[in-house]
Amino acid sequence: MAEIEFTEETKQQVERIGSADIVVGVAGSMAPEDLRLRAERIIEDLGSGVPPLRFVFAWPGSGAEPVASLLDRPAHASLTVFPFTPPAHPGSEFWAPVSANQRAILALAASLSARACIVIGSDLGALNAHAIQLFAYAILDRQCGLAMPVYPAGKYDGLVNIGILSPLSRALYGRRIRYPLAFDFATSGAMSARLVRGEPSANHHGNPLLWPVTLAATQSPQDPVGQVHIDVRHQISTEGLELSAVLGQVVGSLFQDLETFAPQWQRIRGSQLAPVWGNAPAEERDGDPIDTRSMLDSFLLGSKNLDEVWRLVLPPNTMLELRRLTRVAPEQFRIADELWAGIVYDFALAYHLRTISRVHLLGALTPLYLGWAASYAREVATLTRAALEQRQEQFARAWEEKKPYLLSRWRWPDRFNP
């Protein structure tokens, strides 16, 4: 079973409950009463099946909360709500606590032998009957091992995801998933256990973040992965955090998994479509165009200050191209897809080889990322929604086509290259 060690109190709760059909876990602190009301509403909205599905709603709570009364008055026989004490986790910033709670929920689901586990972000945006039903459909009816969300997003939303996380995850692990790092997702019972159990042994040094797609593709490649439309716009709290810190944690974590799963991702070629169920929102807001001037300034500043670091990481041709970009007019500034993919691959390799300190390395990626983001934002500003989708697909394919470059450099990391 799961390696996660719960408190005695939580273990007793699990023992008392015994088993469940679906575990819905909230990966962060919230108001328990709010959870109970929503849970009851969901049960009512879903109606009663024959036999009724046994739901357990869990959240990371503490003894100070008035939870006893909650536990004692379930409105439905098929509903159980209870708090669990989350195990300690190494990181305290940004995404690390979310991942720690997600892991704990998966472990609870495995302990309860749940047929499905649905993990929900702490803002409870996805805690509604429609989202729960969609996730359950993907897992129970379509036999998916993992269901990831597709969130509504404007053109300029989630650029770190669009620019690095999604295409890198897709190229490496062969699953066309829009959001490989998500607040909400669902797993089958077997996958819950596998994600938790497979992780620590495979990942010797422990990755603070949980990448469900990575684990599913490497630990259980035969299980289908699907996606469901979830109409939620999560507000990610990065207040007070430098962009480089965010990149450091999120991109660094993805780079770390490259090392752990090298034998697996090096054998995956091409990518598989991951079906999407549910309906996308009728209209999606793109938000206001962003001002790219400051981004470009950061890139230019970085090219002056970080030239030496970049030269340690990037091959001469890439450096030449970057230098050319510093000389072009802002309106002509454009980082080609394959150039950007190659840069990220080179940084992933340098992370693996520890060419320089990893913190400094990811810091040195930040101005490059801003340069790419500026280039991308300018390019997509005039695109229609359909054209944008097509452009993003083209962008992701460029990463796949460039993957042999990463492989060759990974396998023979000679600095004497073009």
Binding site for other proteins (CB under 8 A): 115, 139, 143-145, 174, 188-191, 201, 204, 221-224, 262-263, 266-272, 404, 407-408, 411-416
Query: Which candidate, 114, 79, 166, 140, places its Cα nearest to that of 2?
Result: 114
Place of tokens 């273990």: 11
Nearer to other proteins, 38 or 197 (CB): 197
Give strand pairing partners of 120.
26
Nearer to other proteins, 204 or 304 (CB): 204
Alpha-helical (H) ranges within 89-177 are 96-111, 129-136, 159-160, 166-173
Nearer to other proteins, 139 or 181 (CB): 139
Nearer to other proteins, 73 or 411 (CB): 411
Nearer to other proteins, 267 or 323 (CB): 267
CB of 266 to other proteins, least distance (A): 6
Nearer to other proteins, 82 or 410 (CB): 410
CA distance 204 to 311: 30
Q: What is the dihedral of CA 178, 184, 186, 191, to 10 degrees?
A: 80
Query: Which candidate, 259, 143, 262, places its Cα nearest to that of 207?
Result: 259
CB of 230 to other proteins, least distance (A): 21
Query: Which candidate, 240, 181, 178, places its Cα nearest to that of 207?
Result: 181
Beta-strand relationship, 175-176 and 225-229: unpaired
**Buried/exposed code over 76-87 (b: 16+ C-beta within 10 A; e: otherwise):** eebbbbbbbbbb
CB of 406 to other proteins, least distance (A): 9
Would you state the structure tokens that stand for residue 182, as one six-digit string? 């998500």
Nearer to other proteins, 225 or 309 (CB): 225
Are the CB atoms for 79 and 21 separated by under 8 Å? no
Are the CB atoms for 298 and 367 separated by under 8 Å? yes
Nearer to other proteins, 142 or 293 (CB): 142
In this structure, how many other beta carbons lie within 10 angstroms of the beta carbon of residue 304?
A: 9
Nearer to other proteins, 124 or 262 (CB): 262
CB of 410 to other proteins, least distance (A): 8
CB of 271 to other proteins, least distance (A): 8
CB of 21 to other proteins, least distance (A): 11
CA distance 186 to 217: 15
Nearer to other proteins, 143 or 238 (CB): 143
Beta-strand relationship, 175-176 and 79-84: unpaired
CA distance 84 to 188: 21
Torsion sign (Cα): 219, 411, 268, 230: positive
Are the CB atoms for 241 and 214 separated by under 8 Å? no
Please list, in sequence order, all residues whose beta carbon lies within 8 angstroms of the beta carbon of residue 25, skipping any fewer than 6 positions away. 57, 58, 59, 101, 102, 104, 105, 106, 108, 109, 117, 118, 119, 120
DSSP H or E run through 45: helix 32-46
CB of 182 to other proteins, least distance (A): 20
CB of 27 to other proteins, least distance (A): 23
CA distance 11 to 6: 6
